Structure 1
Amino acid sequence: MTLLQAYIFREWFWTLLAVTAVLLIVLMGVFLGELLNDMADGRVPAGLLGIQLLLNLPDALSKILPLAGFVAVMWGLGRMYRDHEMVVMRSSGFSWLMLLRPLALLVLPVAVLLLVLTFVVAPRAAQKSDAALEEALRSAALWGLQDGRFHIMQGGDFVIYVERLDTEGRTLENVFVRQQDGLRTKIWQAATGEYWVDTTTGNRFLKLTDGQITDALPNARDLRVLQFERNDIMLPEPAMRTDEERLEARGFTELVTQGGAEASAELQWRLSPALAVIVLGLLAIPLAHSDPREGRSSRVVLGILAYALYANTLYLCRAWVAGGELPPALGLWWVHALVFISALWWLRRQGRMVGRS
């Protein structure tokens, strides 16, 4: 590379790192909020906060890296236009074609990284996340249940109290459960309890032994008390999902073997970030171009609109392919091809206009 190309590459590279860090913090903050909400509702064990955040990193990176590359190229070139650096470069014979080499050095390694993330790392992380969740939901301790404290679920409609837990968090002693089912209130009291999970449906159950059920209506005299040796209660809002619903946890070979519209949509979706970072990098070059008297806000708005249109169209096409409304042969490919051709046309047209001026 020439000195100018190396200078532009460094500008883009450090901007890419900065934007990626900022977007990652924002996205992980959103995920943390959703995770805390799930924990408060009892859908995710409280003991899995750290591991769930860590295992979500590959998926988060695959989502933000294409946008970060797009912003880095636009931001870096935009600053050079505002500071009149590009004017000086062009007066010394620097053409728009010379931008392609530093762009390739920036986006191609990122595209390879995205392929590794989407096809290898993210599916394995999703599998480990599901396995950790399944194992944790078998343990009352990891699920968030503590000795001598009330565990509230479903906004207070389902409450569990345990006097004592064993060291593994599986066996409960002196269990109290209150469930609000419409107007009717059910109260379980049992000497012992134990968690178990239905591996077929993913539903969690609490097996109670040696206890009684009290069933009553408010302001009514019909009070029913039933003694039991064993009674299984299905815990509300199970967080586990079956393999059929977790396409993102399946490997490349499994998806190819499975076939069908949903598998095709998932495969094309995993390939999209790597293609998008290249297409968006090319599109950012003409989008960043501005005249000395042109305001900065118009280019920023145009860039936001272009990215939003591109990303939302991909989301729609993914849903259409999975639902059978769009043939997999057309799939998401036409969106990438259309934006890629538009970027090349715009880039070439801008190069001709600059050459004439």
Structure 2
Amino acid sequence: MPKDTLFERAMLRELAGVGTGVFIVLLGIMIVTRGARLLAMAASGNVSADAVGALLGFTLLGVVPWILTMTVFITILWSLTRAWRDHEMAIWLSAGQPLTAWIRPILTFAVPLALVVALLSLGLSPWAKHKSREYREVLATRDDVSALSPGLFKESALADRVTFIENFAGKGGAARNIFVKSAEQDNTQSVTVAAEGYLSSLPDGERILVLQNGRRYEGIPGQANYRVVEFTEARIRIQEPDRREITTPAEAMPTMALLGSQQLEEQGELARRIASPIATLLLAILAIPLAYVNPRMGRGVNLITAILLFSIYLNLINIAQSWIANGKLPAAIGVWPVHIVIALITWGLFRWRAKPRA
């Protein structure tokens, strides 16, 4: 087996191992941060607890392309920095091999991941964002009682009723210890408490809350003529908010729908999606000269430079997308100037590293 093939296989094994670890770490960070935000929303009653898992899944699918891009960049930078630190790169250069010879094995690792990024960015991520938005719309139009969380006071969408339940430990999963406060148009307020309750649907589709073994207090605040009614069973109509048409922003639209669009926002979104796999390949090649470690300066300088270039690159892509959406940049030009600048920086770094050192 040729030596270069052995070298490439060993390098690819190292890159695959490091890349798997980096991806798991980045994905874990994303799960923790986004999951904590969704759990906080569920605890405050803004999101149903049973919807946290689905929303987290849709969110992760939407950000996975950029996680993969970061994974490729960090993996190559980490592996080649180790090669410089362990003097493997010095042996490589002493054998007459140029720094550009690393491009082939690096692209062998990066190209398949760039294709995955393209597949996700152009297809799966927009679908996930659409489904996430669709799911949020469905949750927003659910009746108020369906979205209740035990132990929390929940105001209705129309702000005319406040409901509290202690738990769902009743028979057949029925709610226990229910409190309902509602306001009427004639300034009359009513407070209803019940030992148990459950949701029921009438044949015409109307939803009602059935309360059992409770008491109702009704009157005008400040007056003594309150009316108290004890009941074995009472029913409260659940007024559902109007069903809203599910909107589809540009980021949730299928890529085929963006092609040929004359809407500036949609043209900007298409440019951003196309930029993702291109950025993955450019960052992979850029990491080769950035991995250089000068023993006199320490290994922190190249890492800081790499982080700055990575952040600037992604921010410039977002700025270009914004300019296209606002009509400040023609869609035909798109994000290509940003890619060209990064390509020139990469070429310049290769030339600089190729110069003989004193």
Q: Under a length normalisation based on structure 1, what TM-score does the superposition of the two structures give?
A: 0.75
Cα–Cα, structure 1 residues 192 and 167, in superposed 2: closer, same or farther, change >3 Å? closer
Q: How far apart, in 2, do the equivalents of 1:257 and 1:57 lie?
A: 28
Instruction: Report SS of the residue matched to 1:43.
Output: coil
Cα 1:307/1:163, change in 2 over 3 Å: closer
Aligned runs of 1:158-169 on 2, under 5 Å?
159-161=162-164
Q: Evaluate the alpha carbon distance shift between residue 71 and residue 142 of structure 1 in structure 2; reply closer, same or farther with a 3 A threshold.
A: farther
2:89 corresponds in structure 1 to 86
Matched, 1:243 2:247: yes
Alpha-carbon separation, structure 2, partners of 1:259 and 1:32: 37
Q: How far is 1:175 from its partner? A: 7.2
- Which residue in the other structure is 2:152 paired with? 151
Runs of 5+ consecutive residues of structure 1 not aligned to the other structure: 196-204
Out of 13, 22, 27, the position equivalent to 1:24 is 27
Structure 2 SS opposite 1:161: strand
Counterpart residue number, 2:230: none
In the alignment, is residue 269 of structure 1 matched against residue 276 of structure 2?
no
On the 8 A contact 1:175/1:192 being kept in 2, the answer is no
- Rg: which structure is higher? 2
SS of the residue corresponding to residue 259 of structure 2 reads helix
CA distance in 2, matches of 1:187, 1:94: 85
Aligned to 1:10: 13
Please state how far the C-alpha of 1:207 moved relative to its aligned partner.
Answer: 7.7
Quote the offset at 1:80 in angstroms.
Answer: 0.7
Residues 4/164 of structure 1: CA separation in 2 closer, same or farther (3 Å cut) = closer
**Alignment-derived partner of residue 335 in structure 1:** 338
Query: Is 2:73 aligned against 1:46?
Result: no
**Structure 2 CA distance for partners of 1:310 and 1:179, relative to 1, 3 Å:** farther
The residue type equivalent to 2:19 in the other structure is L
| Contact 2:148–2:154 (CA under 8 A) maintained in structure 1 | no
Structure-2 separation of matches of 1:334 and 1:185: 66
> Whole-Å Cα distance in 1 between the matches of residues 9 and 308 of structure 2?
30
SS of structure 1 residue aligned to 2:339: helix
CA contact (8 A) 1:48 1:142 kept: no
Quote the residue 1:312 is aligned against.
315
Tell whether 2:324 aligns with 1:321.
Answer: yes
Report the secondary structure of 1:2's partner residue: helix
The offset of 1:108, in angstroms, is: 0.9
Give the equivalent residue in structure 1 for 2:350: 347
Does residue 259 of the first structure (1) align with residue 262 of the second (2)? yes
Q: Distance in 1 between matches of 2:261 and 2:171?
A: 42
Q: 1:37 aligns with which of 34, 40, 57?
A: 40
Residues 1:95 and 1:55: Cα distance change in structure 2 (over 3 Å): same
Could you list the runs of 5+ residues in structure 2 that have no partner in the other structure?
228-235
Q: Does 1:297 align with 2:295?
A: no
The answer to whether the Cα contact below 8 Å between 1:163 and 1:173 also exists between their aligned partners in 2 is yes
Name the SS for the 1:124 alignment partner. Answer: helix
1:243 counterpart SS class: coil
Instruction: Check if 1:126 corresponds to 2:129.
Output: yes
Q: Please show how residues 77-226 of structure 1 align to structure 2 within 5 Å.
A: 77-136=80-139, 143-145=146-148, 149-153=150-154, 159-161=162-164, 176-178=179-181
Q: State the one-letter code of the partner of 2:255.
A: F
Whole-angstrom CA distance in 1 between matches of 2:327 and 2:171: 50
Pairing partner for 1:284 from 280, 284, 287: 287
- In structure 1, what is the Cα distance between the partners aligned to 2:188 and 2:86? 71
Q: Secondary structure at the match of 2:153?
A: strand
CA RMSD of aligned residues (A): 4.3
2:143–2:239 CA contact under 8 A, matched in 1: no
Q: CA deviation at 1:92?
A: 1.9
Matched residue SS, 2:152: strand
State the alpha-carbon separation in 1 of the partners of residues 127 and 171 from structure 2. Answer: 30
Q: CA deviation at 1:164?
A: 10
Which TM-score applies when normalising by structure 2?
A: 0.75
- Give 1:43 deviation, angstroms: 2.6
* Secondary structure class of the residue paired with 2:327: coil
